[in-house]
Amino acid sequence: MPELVDALKAAVGAGTVPGPDLRLALIQTDDASVLRKAGRALAKLTDPDGRLRPLRLSVVAACTVGPLESLLRACLVGAGACPAIEVTPYGAFELTLATGGFDRSSELLLCLLDESYFLPDDLDVTAPQAAGPYLEERLAQLSGLLGAALRGSEATLVLHTVPLPRALRDTVLSLRARGALTRLWHRLNAGLLELAEEHPQVQVVDLVGLLAESQVAARDQRLHKYADLPYTDGALLILATEVRRIAQARSGLSRKVLALDLDNTLWGGVLGEVGPQGVELGGLYPGKSFADLQRTVSRLREQGVVLVLASKNDPDPVDEALRRHPAVLLRPEAFSVSMVNWAPKAGNLRKAADALGLGTDSFVFMDDSDFERGGVAAELPEIAIIDASGEPAQLVDSLVRHGWFDVVELTGTDRRRPELYRARGLRNDFSGGFSRAEDYLKALDLTVAIEPVTRFTVARAAQLAARTNQFNLTGVRFDEAATAAMIDAPDRLALTVSVTDRFGDEGLVGALWVERTARRWSVLNLALSCRVLSRGVEFAIVGRLAELAEQAGAQVLEGRFTPSAKNSVAEGFWEKAGFVPEGGGVFTFAPGRMPDPTPSWITRVDSAGSAKSVDRVESEEQ
Amino acid sequence: MGNTVDSVGAEVLEVLGEVLSQDPEALRAQPVLAGYDWDSLASLEALAQLESAFGVRLDLRAFQAVRTVEEMAALVAATLNS
């Protein structure tokens, strides 16, 4: 990710603070080599307008710190802090703590330790348990030093558990003795964790436990021998990330609101397509993964995280599914604000923030759609965004791993917060309008290809007819045979619609079936996957159809709408495209004499081949 | 096979320039590392950045023996070829 480092350098060079999008990218980057470069680039960061929260941090180490300072800086800037970091002199760990020889105005004091601080030089490998009293004494000495360092200070002191090096473990040959050494070591680490109970200002990071679940090695033997550097960049990044989370919780930089999509995020599948009984939730995989996510979200709510529902759906089926599906753990009352409508999500989130009286910078938004995440990121870059696409088994991890919602301690208000905010949210009305985020749509580079159905695409077209319920204008479901018969029929035309944007290829997402006479073209049905709704694709389709009809000499293009229980999203479509209602669900348009409804942000690809084949059919008819 | 001082030289120069806060051209003109703040911290930073940029692990003894930018490029090229 050299772009991230370059963008940070550019911001620092211009004397400005990196924008919220860059800061969020810092938090969501796992690559230690990128972050150490980012941290170096941020060393000259200035914040003349005071947009970041100043934070003083001192590092006191019993070993070499390596790139820890750069990694800490990158992580802390990511959380919205402007850090001033002091690394106290090498080789003076105990003296620095005992005499308070660090920046006394520091809010955070990080102690970096390795096993050599605790192990006796003359460890008896035949009877390691004999070292027990020595380890206890070292721990007690450390506790005394911490007490001395914290006297008269309000700093939070951060310690960590210490890994037992594998080479030492393997040097002990007797299984029993090795077990004894391992036990001693776990007791030592338990003792380190207990220091947080002894000293209220101490926080202990379980580095050992975190390393066990990560892919990085604790140590690079070369750097340990060469430079007394006990931890790899990856291990130091784990520590720096935890320090960031502590700083964030301590400074009120954590987030309070979790806005969630429904379809393919809180359950598998699309409610509008499969109905409340058909969504994947609970039971075996993959439903189990979505149930686990709901359980985790519910646990976050118990700890004060305010939930917002942000779903493009009709409200009634959502309400029914949330109330009646037996595996749903997040009932409608769990959400303080519910934004279930077809309006752009960025606007919905802004309204939710207004209703809650909170800033959008306290929001985290989780959605599986590249389009929705992209739209929110473009309009509200301060919102932290979680990608819920891909493997559902990873959903819980994606939600919690960055520690967006950490707090130092839970208060009674935290636990009551979702209810308080729910009451506030209920006082507001969210009918949600159809406003267009045109700038975002323009930046999407939407390309729509409308082509006659072929032997290769007929199956997909029939599948769209069968499965699409929401944007399905007449409910007439042409099957594969009926659609294939239209390929060569002079009085019929079946077209498919493919969409690509800068996020990638959506594939074949729509189909339409048309009856043609010399004077009148009638759309028998138009089905469009709800994945691409609200981008204006449906208007580009009509634009192309009007063009084809005009080329064929037709005077009238006719559309129909037959309401169903699920297609309310398509209601009013023909009027919005410029058609005139004729009554009885029939709408008409004069090709060539009425304006092309294709939106300005869509590029239509009307391949020469497809146009020709339509013309040919027409000329045969005439 | 086939990595040469020429093929890796520009990127090595860029990494060292970044670590030593020097313009790559200035570093090319005056390539003796000891002429800059080539202390233990800078050399560790260079080691980490070269290893991540080229996806290699450099032999530390050979790394310590390096005196100039060209020698560093030669070490990286030789490691890539080994």
CATH classification of the domain holding A232: 3.40.50.1110
> Which residues from B are below 8 Å from A233, CB to CB?
48
Q: Say if A47 falls within a structural domain.
A: no
Reported as a pLDDT band with limits 50, 70 and 90, residue A500 is confident
Would A38 be classed as within a structural domain?
A: no
What per-residue confidence (pLDDT) applies to A243? 98
| Average pLDDT score over residue span A172-183 | 96
Confidence class for position A430, pLDDT limits 50, 70, 90: very low
pLDDT the model gives residue A240: 98
Q: Indicate if A420 and A498 belong to the same structural domain.
A: no
User: Nearest residue of A to residue B53 by CA position?
Assistant: A33
Instruction: Determine the average pLDDT of the residues in A348-356.
Output: 92
A89 and A104, same domain (yes or no): yes
Is the pLDDT at A443 greater than 80? The verdict is: no
- Look at residue A566 in the predicted model and tell me its pLDDT: 80
Residue of chain A whose Cα is closest to the Cα of B55: A33
Indicate if the pLDDT at residue A392 is higher than 50. Answer: yes
Closest partner residue to A66 (CB to CB) among B44, B52, B60 is B44
The domains located in chain B, with CATH, are 5-81 (1.10.1200.10)
Answer whether residue A19 is part of any domain: no
Residue B7 has pLDDT above 90, yes or no: no
Query: How far does the CA of residue A157 sit from the closest CA of chain B (Å)?
Result: 26
Q: Write down the pLDDT at residue B47.
A: 93
Length of chain A: 622
pLDDT at A234 over 60: yes
- Distance of residue B71 Cα from the nearest chain A Cα, in angstroms: 20
Which residue in chain A has the smallest CA separation from B39?
A227
Give domain status of residue A37, yes or no. no
8 A C-beta contact, residue A63 and residue A114: yes
The DSSP H or E segment spanning A348 is helix A345-356
A547 and A406 share one domain? no
The number of folded domains in chain A is 3
Res A425: pLDDT: 60
Instruction: For chain A, give the mean pLDDT.
Output: 89
Instruction: Please state which of the ranges A10-24, A90-104, A338-352 shows the lowest mean pLDDT.
Output: A90-104
Q: In which domain, by residue range, is A330 found?
A: 257-435
Residues 6+ apart with CB under 8 A from A181: A128, A129, A164, A168, A169, A172
Does one domain contain both A130 and A173?
yes
Mutate to test the interface with B, among A226, A231, A236 (most CBs of B within 10 A): A226
φ, ψ at A129 (rounded to 5°): -60, -20
Among A350, A358, A351, A536, smallest CA distance to A440 is for: A536
* Cβ pair A30, A38 in contact under 8 A: no
Q: Which residue of B has its CA nearest to A232?
A: B48
What is d(CA A558, CA A33) in angstroms, rounded to the nearest whole number? 61
pLDDT in tens, A208-218: 999 999 999 99
CA distance B52 to chain A (A): 7
Residue A86 domain-assigned (yes or no):
yes
Q: For residue A460, what are the CA distances in angstroms to A457, A484, A496, A528?
A: 5, 11, 9, 12
pLDDT band at A616 (very low <50, low <70, confident <90, very high): very low
Same domain, A166 and A112: yes
- Say which DSSP state A358 is in: -
Specify the 3-state DSSP secondary structure of A332. helix
Q: What is the rounded distance in angstroms from the CA atom of residue A337 to the CA atom of residue A307?
A: 7
Biggest CA–CA distance in chain B, Å, is 33
Q: Collect all residues of chain A within an 8 Å Cβ-Cβ radius of residue B60.
A: 222, 226
Is the pLDDT reported for residue A505 higher than 80?
Answer: no
Are residues A157 and A187 located together in one domain of the fold? yes
Taking an 8 Å cut-off on Cβ atoms, the answer to whether A33 and B40 are in contact is no
Let me know if B52 is exposed, middle or buried by CB neighbors in 10 A (0-12, 13-18, 19+): middle
Contacts of B49 in chain A (CB under 8 A): 33, 37
Instruction: Count interface pairs A-B at CB distance under 8 A.
Output: 22
**H or E segment to which residue A511 belongs:** strand A504-516
Q: What's the confidence (pLDDT) of residue A530?
A: 75
Q: How far is CA A68 from CA A39, A72, A107, A234, in A?
A: 9, 6, 18, 10
Last residue of a domain, one of A435, A457, A480: A435
Contact B60 A222 (CB under 8 A): yes
Which residues does A424 contact at the CB level (< 8 Å), separation at least 6? A336, A355, A356, A357
Question: Quick one: pLDDT band at residue A613, thresholds 50, 70, 90?
Answer: very low
Same domain, A487 and A405: no
- Residue A102 to residues A47, A60, A244, A392, B7, Cα–Cα distance (Å): 24, 8, 20, 47, 47
Contacts 24+ apart (CB under 8 A), A131-138: A131/A184, A132/A184, A132/A187, A135/A184, A135/A187, A135/A188, A136/A191
> Do A584 and A496 have their domain in common?
yes
* Residues of chain A above pLDDT 70, percent: 93
Q: What pLDDT is stored for residue A145 in this prediction?
A: 93
**Neighboring chain B residues of A223 at a CB cutoff of 8 Å:** 44, 47
A69 plus A161 within the same structural domain: yes
CB contact under 8 A, A67 and B45: yes
Specify whether A371 is located in the same domain as A452: no
Is residue A428 over pLDDT 60?
Answer: no
pLDDT at residue A620 in the model: 35
CATH classification of the domain holding A522: 3.40.630.30
CATH code, domain with A359: 3.40.50.1000
Residue A461 amino acid letter? A
Residue A426, pLDDT score: 55
Local confidence band at A434 (pLDDT 50, 70, 90 cut-offs): very low
**A433 has a pLDDT exceeding 50:** no
Is position A27 within any domain?
A: no
- Residue A538: which residues within 8 A CB-CB, separation 6 or more? A471, A510, A526, A528, A573, A577
Domain limit, last residue, from A250, A284, A304: A250
- On whether both A419 and A513 belong to a single domain, the answer is no
Would the CB atoms of A67 and B40 count as touching at under 8 Å?
A: no
Strands (E), A538-578: 556-560
Structure confidence at residue A432 as a pLDDT band (50, 70, 90): very low
Is A8 among the domain residues? no
Task: With CB atoms and an 8 Å threshold, state whether B44 touches A227.
Answer: yes
Q: B40 and A36 in contact by Cβ < 8 A?
A: no
| A338 lies in the same domain as A431 | yes
pLDDT at A1 over 70: no
Of A250, A284, A308, the residue that ends a domain is A250
Average pLDDT over residues A278-306: 94
At position A140, the amino acid (one-letter code) is A
Coil, helix or strand at residue A200: coil
Tens digits of residue pLDDT in A466-496: 878 889 999 898 988 899 999 989 999 999 9
Establish if A494 belongs to a structural domain: yes
